[in-house]
Amino acid sequence: MSDSQGEALAALCAIARLLETHGRTFHDLADHVENANGGGLSEDDKKKIRSEIENAHALGYAEGVKAAESKQHGTGAFRNTDGKLEWAEVVLFVQREKHRVPSKHHEFIDDMASRTVYGREPSPKQH
């Protein structure tokens, strides 16, 4: 069990989706558990249920991590939603912070900024 409320909520949502795909509710699940009397499920059924719960937890955890990262960084922070670098953002950041690098690099930084305005990606050497 997780100490994180976000993980627990994500796992609960994953279980709800799983129940919904089988046309069941939490009430159906509770009734099944209460009326099983410990012997109502075969070992194969128990293994399948455990596996589904583990999968739901893993999916919920992954969704929770993704949501937390999006909340913390947004789709910006130099990355597109597909994970690729957003060069316009990188260059804008570097241009704002160019006072921290030697002045001999300022021309290169400004040149890169002007290139990305038009959607051109840096060459491999410029990367």
How does residue 84 score in pLDDT terms, banded at 50, 70 and 90?
Answer: low
Packed helices 26-35 and 5-21: angle between N→C axes, nearest 10 degrees: 90
Tell me if 76 sits within 8 A of 89, measured CB to CB. Answer: yes
Q: pTM of the predicted model, to two decimals?
A: 0.34
**Residue-level pLDDT at 119:** 72
Tell me if 18 sits within 8 A of 68, measured CB to CB. Answer: no
**Residue-level pLDDT at 97:** 87
How does residue 1 score in pLDDT terms, banded at 50, 70 and 90?
Answer: low
Does residue 81 surpass a pLDDT of 70?
A: no
pLDDT digits (tens, 9 = 90+) for 55-72: 899 888 888 887 776 666
pLDDT digits (tens, 9 = 90+) for 13-34: 889 898 988 899 888 888 877 7
Residues 6 or more apart whose CB falls under 8 angstroms from that of 75 comprise 81
Report the alpha-carbon angle 98-102-105, nearest 5: 70
Does residue 43 surpass a pLDDT of 70?
A: yes
Tell me if 2 sits within 8 A of 8, measured CB to CB. Answer: yes
**Residue-level pLDDT at 5:** 80
**Residue-level pLDDT at 126:** 72
Average pLDDT rounded to a whole number, residues 37-46: 71
CA distances from 56 to 7, 51, 76, 103 (A): 11, 9, 29, 53
Q: Which of 27, 29, 24 is nearest to 41 (CA)?
A: 29
pLDDT digits (tens, 9 = 90+) for 92-108: 888 888 889 898 988 88
